[in-house]
Structure 1
Amino acid sequence: MESGRDVLLRSIAGQRRRLAAGSLLGAGHQAGEALVPVLIGLAIDQAVVGASWGRLLMWLAVLAVVYVGLSFSYRFGIRVGERAAEEAAHDLRLAVVSRVLHPRGGAEEGRLPGALTSIATEDARRVGAVIMAVLAGIAALTGLAVSTVVLLRMSIPLGLIVLLGTPALLWLGHLLGKPLERRSEVEQERVAHASGMAADLVAGLRVLKGINAEGAAVERYRRTSRDSLSATLRAARAEALQNGVVLALTGAFIALIALVGGRFAIDGSISLGQLVSAVGLALFLQGPLQLLAWVNAELAQGRASAARVAALLSAPHAVTGGGGLPGAGAGEPPGAGAGEPLGTTSGAGEPLGTITGAVRLRGLTYDRLTGLDADIAPGELVGVAATDPAAATALLRCLGRQADPESGSVELDGVPLRDLDPARLREAVLVAEHDAILFEGTVRTNIGGTAPAEAMAAAGADQLPGGEDTRVSERGGSLSGGQRQRVALARALAAGRPVLVLHDPTTAVDAVTEARIAEGIRRVRRGRTTIVVTTSPALLAVADRVLLLDDGRVTDAAPHADLLRRNAGYRTAVLA
C-alpha cells in the first residue's frame, strides 16, 4: 500500500532535474546574499579606513557583479522551481483522476464527489508545493553554510554560535510543525467534506425545492461548514504559533550574534569592517531562518495532503481479476441479425469478437439481490420492474460490473463478467444510469455516436428548441429535467452497444412524450439486447416481456399486459 511518503518521494524524483537546477540557482542567490555584507566589510577595511578611492571603486564594481549574479539566480531559480512544482502537481492530478476513472472503480467508495475534487486540486497543489519548499530549503541551508564559514574565519566563537544554534532552531521548527501537520490533515478532510456536500446540494437543488427541503439542507450544510471553519482556524492558529515562536527565537539568535560581534570589536579581536560584516550577516541570517520556518510549514501541510492522495491511490478496486475480451470464443450468433461484430479495439489494438447479447443471471446474490436467476435472449427487449429501488440499483451495478456479486454470476454470451476486462466489457455493455451527467457544449457534442439523428428522434431530443445545436451548460443546468433525460437517452442509444441497460430514462417527461420515446427505443434497438429497469407502464408495455423483481429475485415473468391482469404485486409496483 502506498504511503504519503512514497507520494512525496515520487513527486520529487519526477522533477529531480528541475529541482537540481533550481536548487543550484537558489543556492547561488543565497550565497551571493551572504557575501554582500562580507564584501562591504572588506571595502570598509581596505578602502574607507585606508582612504583609497581606487579600492573603493573596485569593491563597488565587485558588489555590482555579485548583485547581478544573485538577481539572475533568484529570477531563474524561482522560475524553474515554480515550473517543477506545477508539473509535479499536474502529474499527481492526472494520477488521481486516472485512479478515480479506473474501469475497476473503488476510489469513490466513502468519498463525496467534492472530496475527490479537493484531493485532485488542493491536495495535489500542496504536494507539488513541496518541490518548491525543498528547493528553498536547500538554498536557505546554503546561505547558512556560507555565513557560518565566513564567521568561523572571522571569529571561531561567532561561527560556533551559528553552527550550533541553527540545528537547534531547525529541530524546534520541526517539532512545532507536528501539530500543524495533524491539524492540516483534519482541515483538508473537513474542507473536502464541505465541498462535497455543497456540490451535492447544487446538483439536487431542484429536487430539494420540489419537496420543500431547502431549509433542512441549508442547516445541514451550515453545520458542516462550521466544522470546516473550526478546523481551518485550528490549523491557522497552529501555523501562527509555529511562525511566531520561530520568529521570536530567530530574532533572539540574531541579537546574540550582533552582541558577541560587538564585544569582539570593542576588544580589538575583529576589525571595524569585520564588525560590519558580522552585523550584516546576523541581519541576513533572518532571511534563511524564516525561509526554513516556511519550509517546515509547507512540508507539514504537504505530508498531510500526500497522505490523503496516497489513501485514494491505494484504495482497493471494486472489482478484481478478469482480463478476457468480450465475444472471444463466443461463437457465431444463433440467428440473422442477432450477432453484432464490433470494430472497436482495445488500447493494444485487439478487436472485440462477435457479441450476440445473451445475458444470463445465475444465483446472483449482491446487496438486496438474493439468488436471482434470469435469462435474456439475444436481441430481446426486456423490462425489469423492481419493487425495491435498492435492488434495482444493485442489479445495475452487477450488469455494468461496477461490483462483482457475492455469489452467483452474470454472464454475457456464456462468459461470466468477472472473467472479462471491465474496460473492454463496457464496449459491449452500456449501463445508462438514471442521473447521467451532460457536458458543456451542444446537444450534438454530447450525443456523438454512430447515428445521432436517429437516436435523437427516438429519444425525443430532436424537439429541443435549437435541435442538435442547442447549447448545454455544465452538467446540463441550462436544460429542464425532461430535456436532460432525452439528451442522455439519445447519447445511450447513439452509442450502439450490443447490450444496453437503461434505468428510468423517462421519469421527467410527460405521458405523451414517454409513449413516443418507448416506441423509439424499441425501433432503434431492434435486434439488439436491451434491458429497461423501470416501473413506467409506457416503457414496460413495449417490452417483449417483463421480469418482476421482488424480495431480491424474479418472482414472475410475462408480457406487461399479462402481468397487469394476473399479478397484484406488479400492479401495485407499476400503477401506484
Structure 2
Amino acid sequence: MGKPELRGRDVLRSVVRGRRRSVALGVLLGACHQGGEAIVPVLIGLAVDQGVVEGDAAGLMLWLGVLAVVYVGLSFGFRYGALAGERASVTAAHLLRVALVERVLAPEGGAEDGRLPGELANIATEDAKRVGAVTMALIVGAGAAVGLVVGAVFLLRMSVGLGLLVLLGTPLLLWLGHLLSKPLERRSETEQECAAHASGVAADLVAGLRVLKGIGAEPAATARYRGISRDSLSATLRAARAEAWQNGVVTLLTGAFIALVALVGGRLAARGDIGIGELVSCVALALFLIGPLSEFSWVNAELAQGRASAARIAAVLGARPAVSTVPPRTPDAAARPLAAEGRLRLRDLSYGPLDAVDIDIEAGETVGVVAANPADASALLHCLGRRTDPDRGSVELDGRALTTLDLAQARGVILVAEHDADLFEGTLLDNVAAAAPAGGQGPVTPAAAMAASGTDEVARSLPDGTGTAVTARGRSLSGGQRQRVALARALAADAPVLVLHEPSTAVDAVTEMRMAAGIKELRRGRTTVLVTNSPALLAVTDRVVLLRNGRVAAAGDHGHLVGTHADYRTAVFA
C-alpha cells in the first residue's frame, strides 16, 4: 500500500503548524508595528489641532512625546517581528530540505523515480526556500490586515463615510489581488519545473563530461542543453512578466483607491464636517494605507509561488514507495543485524522481462547468472536488492520471503553491488573501508579485499598509495581503477550474500583472472552470485544459470555448458 496522497496545501499547513510559535510571535509584533503605524497619523492630527489650531504648546509637546514613544515601540516591534519571521522562514526551509533528503534516501525508494538528481536538488533548495518564505508572507499579511483595520476604525470615528469606504474597498482589492495571482502561480510552477529539469540535465552532463569528450559528443550535448536552457529562460520570463503585470495592476488599483479616499476626505473638510487636524489625519491615513495594500500584493505573489513549490515538494514527499515495508517488531530491531545462513530461493519470480524464474542457491555456494538480455539482469538485480517487489512469485532468504523481512535488515544480508557503483570524496582507503563492519576490523579486512580485487595494484600506482584523495564519483581514477575500488568496497562489507554485477568489464584479461581468483578465495563459504557474461568469472563458480527470454534456459557447470549449449556460448563469447 502506498502512502496517502500528499497535497501542496498539506505541506503548507504542516510548515506553518511546525513554526507556529515563531509565526505567532511575528504576527503579534507585526500587528503591533502596523497598528502603531496607523496610530501615527492620528497623533499628528491631534498635535496639529492642539499645537497649531488652538496654540497649546504644552499639548503639542505632550503629543510629540507620545509620538516619540510610539516610534521607539515601532522600531523594536519591526526589528523583533522581522527576526521571528526570518527565523520561521529559514527554519521551515531547513526542515523541508531535511525531510526531502530523508525521503529520497529512504530504503523503500520511489521518490527519485522519473526525476533527475539535479531536479531533486532544485526542489530541495529553491522550492523549499519558497515554501519557507510563506511563513514570512503570513506574518506580513497579518500585520498589514491589522494596520488596515486600525486605520479604518479611526476613519470611522472621524467619518462614517470614510470608514465604510475603506472597510468595503479593502476586501474588494484583496479579492482582485487573489484573482491576479492565479496566472503567476501557474507560470511559477512551470518556471520551477523547467529550472529543475535544466539543473538536472546540467548535472548529468558534468558527470559524464569525460565520456562526452571521449566520443566527441560535446557539440550535441551543448546543443541539447542550450535548448533546455532556452526553454527554462522562456518560462522564467513568462513568470516575471506575470509577476510584473500583477504588481502593476495591483499598484494601479491601490493608487486609485487611495486617491478616492483622499478626495472624499477633502470634500468633508471643505464642508466643515471634519476639522483641520482630522483632515491631516485622514490624508496621512490614506497615504499610510498604500503600505499595507502594497504589502498585500507582495504577499499574494509569495503565496502563489509558495503554493506552486509546495505542490512539487508534496509530489516527492508523497511518492509511492518502490517496495513494501515491514515495520520492525521492536524499536531497535532494525538496528540489529539479521542472522542468516545465506540460502537463496527464487520461486516463480516474475518482474519485467523475467517470467516464472526458479533458482535455488545453497548457503556458501558461488553461482553465476548469465543473461542473454541485459534487461533480464537488471530486473534480477532489482528484485535481489529489493529495489522493487516482484509482480509474482518471491525471493526467499533462508526460507523467508524478502517482503516479510525488515527492509534494512534484508539489505544488510544481501548486498547488491551494481556495475555502475559510484565512489565518493575521500581517500582510496576510506572508500574501501566505508562498508566494512566494525570500522574495518571484521573477518575480511580492507587490505584483504584490496588484494582480492586488485586494488592494491591501483594503490601502488598512485602518489600517496591508499591515502590518495579520490574526487567525487571517483572521476580522478580511470574506469578500471574505479571498478576495482568499488569491488574491494563490496568485498570488505563481508555480507552473508553478495551479488556482483559485471565487476570486471573495464580491466584487462590478466587483472580479470586475478580478480576472479580473489573473489573465489575471499568469498569461500559465503554465498556469492556473479551476474556476468565474463568467462573468467564464470570459470570460478560452482555452477551457472543461463537466463534467456526471461526464463531459465540452462543450468550446470561452466565448462559443460560451453561445450554443450550454443545459446550459452553465444551469450558468453559473443
> Could you say which TM-score interval applies, normalised by the shorter chain?
over 0.9
Partner of 1:423: 408
Distance 1:324 1:384, change over 3 A: farther
Partner of 1:250: 254
Partner of 1:546: 544
Distance 1:377 1:26, change over 3 A: same
Matched residue of 2:395: which SS? strand
User: Which of 391, 397, 403 pairs up with 2:388?
Assistant: 403
Q: Which amino acid aligns with 1:176?
A: L
Partner of 1:438: 423
Q: Which amino acid aligns with 1:423?
A: A
Partner of 1:337: none
Partner of 2:300: 296
Q: CA deviation at 1:474?
A: 2.4
Partner of 1:485: 483
Establish whether residue 168 from structure 1 lines up as the match of residue 172 from structure 2: yes
Write the distance in 1 (CA, Å) between the matches of 2:369 and 2:216. Answer: 31
Q: Which moved more, 1:448-457 or 1:410-419?
A: 448-457
Q: Which amino acid aligns with 2:450?
A: M
Write the distance in 1 (CA, Å) between the matches of 2:333 and 2:565. Answer: 50
Partner of 2:230: 226
User: Which of 485, 503, 506 pairs up with 1:505?
Assistant: 503
Establish whether residue 46 from structure 1 lines up as the match of residue 40 from structure 2: no
Q: CA deviation at 1:203?
A: 2.1
Q: CA deviation at 1:380?
A: 1.5
Identity of aligned residues (%): 65
Write the distance in 1 (CA, Å) between the matches of 2:473 and 2:383. Answer: 26
Partner of 1:342: none
Write the distance in 2 (CA, Å) between the matches of 1:349 and 1:408. Answer: 25
Q: Which moved more, 1:538-547 or 1:291-300?
A: 538-547
Write the distance in 2 (CA, Å) between the matches of 1:445 and 1:291. Answer: 53
Q: CA deviation at 1:350?
A: 6.5
Establish whether residue 391 from structure 1 lines up as the match of residue 376 from structure 2: yes
Q: Which amino acid aligns with 1:143?
A: G
The C-alpha deviation readout for 1:238-269, integer Å capped at 9, x for no partner, is 11111110011111111111222222222222
User: Which of 442, 453, 460 pairs up with 2:447?
Assistant: 453
Q: How does 1:188-207 map to 2 (within 5 A)?
A: 188-207=192-211
Establish whether residue 28 from structure 1 lines up as the match of residue 24 from structure 2: no
User: Which of 362, 366, 385 pairs up with 2:351?
Assistant: 366
Q: Which moved more, 1:496-505 or 1:468-477?
A: 468-477
Write the distance in 2 (CA, Å) between the matches of 1:286 and 1:445. Answer: 61
Partner of 1:80: 84
Partner of 2:94: 90
User: Which of 359, 374, 378 pairs up with 2:363?
Assistant: 378
Q: How does 1:519-530 map to 2 (within 5 A)?
A: 519-530=517-528
Q: Which amino acid aligns with 1:435?
A: D
TM-score using structure 1 length: 0.92
User: Which of 215, 236, 239 pairs up with 1:235?
Assistant: 239
Q: Which moved more, 1:451-460 or 1:229-238?
A: 451-460
RMSD: 2.0
Write the distance in 2 (CA, Å) between the matches of 1:155 and 1:428. Answer: 80
Q: Which moved more, 1:44-53 or 1:274-283?
A: 44-53
The C-alpha deviation readout for 1:502-532, integer Å capped at 9, x for no partner, is 1122222333333222222222222111112
* Equivalent pair of 1:357/1:377 in contact (CA under 8 Å): yes
Q: How does 1:236-315 map to 2 (within 5 A)?
A: 236-315=240-319
Q: CA deviation at 1:206?
A: 2.6
The C-alpha deviation readout for 1:213-240, integer Å capped at 9, x for no partner, is 3333332222222222222222211111
Partner of 1:332: none
Write the distance in 2 (CA, Å) between the matches of 1:415 and 1:442. Answer: 39
The C-alpha deviation readout for 1:446-501, integer Å capped at 9, x for no partner, is 33313222222322333331233221222223333223222222221121110111
User: Which of 385, 396, 399 pairs up with 1:414?
Assistant: 399
Write the distance in 2 (CA, Å) between the matches of 1:551 and 1:472. Answer: 40
Establish whether residue 112 from structure 1 lines up as the match of residue 110 from structure 2: no
Matched residue of 1:427: which SS? helix
* Equivalent pair of 2:483/2:506 in contact (CA under 8 Å): yes
Partner of 1:559: 557
Partner of 1:354: 339
Q: CA deviation at 1:62?
A: 1.8
Matched residue of 1:409: which SS? strand
Matched residue of 1:362: which SS? strand
* Equivalent pair of 1:324/1:419 in contact (CA under 8 Å): no
Q: CA deviation at 1:349?
A: 6.4
Q: CA deviation at 1:359?
A: 0.9
The C-alpha deviation readout for 1:35-59, integer Å capped at 9, x for no partner, is 2222222111111333344333332
Partner of 1:570: 568
Q: CA deviation at 1:400?
A: 0.6
Q: Which amino acid aligns with 2:92?
A: A
* Equivalent pair of 2:336/2:409 in contact (CA under 8 Å): no
Distance 1:316 1:180, change over 3 A: same
Partner of 1:536: 534
Matched residue of 2:495: which SS? coil
Q: CA deviation at 1:321?
A: 4.9
* Equivalent pair of 1:323/1:419 in contact (CA under 8 Å): no
The C-alpha deviation readout for 1:166-209, integer Å capped at 9, x for no partner, is 10100000001111111222222222222222222222223333
Partner of 1:334: none
Distance 1:270 1:69, change over 3 A: same
Partner of 1:56: 60
Q: CA deviation at 1:308?
A: 1.6
| Structure 2 residue ranges without an equivalent (≥5) | none
Partner of 2:218: 214
Write the distance in 2 (CA, Å) between the matches of 1:56 and 1:323. Answer: 73
Q: CA deviation at 1:8?
A: 1.0
Write the distance in 2 (CA, Å) between the matches of 1:346 and 1:444. Answer: 33
Matched residue of 1:557: which SS? strand
Write the distance in 2 (CA, Å) between the matches of 1:57 and 1:539. Answer: 96
TM-score using structure 2 length: 0.92
Write the distance in 1 (CA, Å) between the matches of 2:103 and 2:534. Answer: 36
Write the distance in 2 (CA, Å) between the matches of 1:539 and 1:324. Answer: 38
Establish whether residue 474 from structure 1 lines up as the match of residue 468 from structure 2: no
Q: CA deviation at 1:323?
A: 5.0
Distance 1:191 1:349, change over 3 A: closer
Q: Which amino acid aligns with 2:520?
A: R
Q: Which amino acid aligns with 2:482?
A: R
Q: CA deviation at 1:144?
A: 0.7
Q: CA deviation at 1:88?
A: 1.5
Q: Which amino acid aligns with 1:80?
A: A
Q: Which moved more, 1:349-358 or 1:60-69?
A: 349-358
Number of residue pairs the alignment of both structures matches: 557
Matched residue of 1:403: which SS? coil
Q: Which amino acid aligns with 1:565?
A: G
Partner of 2:492: 494
